[in-house]
Structure 1
């Protein structure tokens, strides 16, 4: 009976170590992706992107409750003809600001223009949006992740959220390997 208990404990410990390794590698993959985006945006001076997808952080409440302040918005570059009324789009506003609002009307003359409105706003945006200002269609947003991305862009955030956990995880991995090796030597 004692042997069965030891086998169950050993099996549990092996499963625990496998789960620990999986968590470690998933965390490392996420950190590598975040570091890639951070380095990319710092080197290019542009927003983080992969192919035709760009990432923006929502800084105002004009789209609440649909998109909360601090959300990360994933925007796919699309042709103006692919935008429908009701779509959420991201575009360059006045003074090169980036705005994410909902399309309430589309005008098709010689050029396509959009009438937009923030979900939280009572009135439509005052000027029609010319298609040349369109960045793309907002296809996905994750609440509060933008706050984390914004914090990671700072030196303090980079050190706090990437370097320190990375060092801790490496130390934990080396310590657990050292402990296993020492246990096998006994």
Structure 2
């Protein structure tokens, strides 16, 4: 195998991998965007309940480098007894500065109160200080079980009217162009004259 053929093969492999990665991120972004819309609709109707699984887009650097800005995280609802130190949790902050905000930080300490409730101290990986308020089990939305890098960029893009147009047009045009190419090839093959093959003449034995 010469160098030119090897380069062509590597180029195709890289192209396929890049397309696959983009497709996965794109689909993830669409799913997350649809989920956020559904959650907002449910809240407005007053029928929202804490789901077993949830998804969030990170908008601050407090968990860098573990979780970066615009990464998406998937959380799972767990009981306080099942959480341990070093778990990353998403919770509703009771800090007066961020009251009602959804925060994602790491557990650095777990204790049990006199009432038998689990109390947690948390800290962002990027932060130099521990969070000023402790977290009760009822404030916890879930434990981070999965991270999808850079999905926030796609989610933001799809939230714009231009993004939705591109999201619909590109797949549609791709399918149309592909079908046209296949159709042209078939028409060309039908019009292409068939080569006549010479029949071999067999001589009768004398």
TM-superposed CA distance for 1:64, in Å, is 1.0
Matched ranges for 1:1-186 at <5 A: 27=23, 34-45=29-40, 52-93=52-93, 94-109=98-113, 110=115, 111-160=117-166, 162-186=167-191
TM-superposed CA distance for 1:98, in Å, is 1.3
TM-score, length-scaled by structure 1:
0.73
TM-score, length-scaled by structure 2:
0.67
| Alignment gaps of 5+ in structure 2 | 1-11, 43-50, 192-206
Aligned-pair Cα RMSD in Å:
2.9
TM-superposed CA distance for 1:38, in Å, is 2.9
Partners of 1:79 and 1:124 in 2: how far apart?
A: 23
Q: Which has the larger radius of gyration?
A: 2
* Range that drifts further, 58-67 or 149-158: 149-158
Matched position secondary structure for 2:127: coil
Contact 1:85–1:106 under 8 Å retained in 2: yes
| Alignment gaps of 5+ in structure 1 | 1-15
Aligned length: 161
TM-superposed CA distance for 1:156, in Å, is 2.5
Name the structure where helix makes up a greater proportion of residues: 1
TM-superposed CA distance for 1:182, in Å, is 1.4
* Range that drifts further, 70-79 or 146-155: 146-155
C-alpha offsets along residues 56-102 of structure 1, whole Å, 9 cap, x if unaligned? 11100111111111111121221222110011111112443211100
* Range that drifts further, 69-78 or 111-120: 69-78
C-alpha offsets along residues 116-175 of structure 1, whole Å, 9 cap, x if unaligned? 000111111000011111111112223322222232223232223x11321222222221
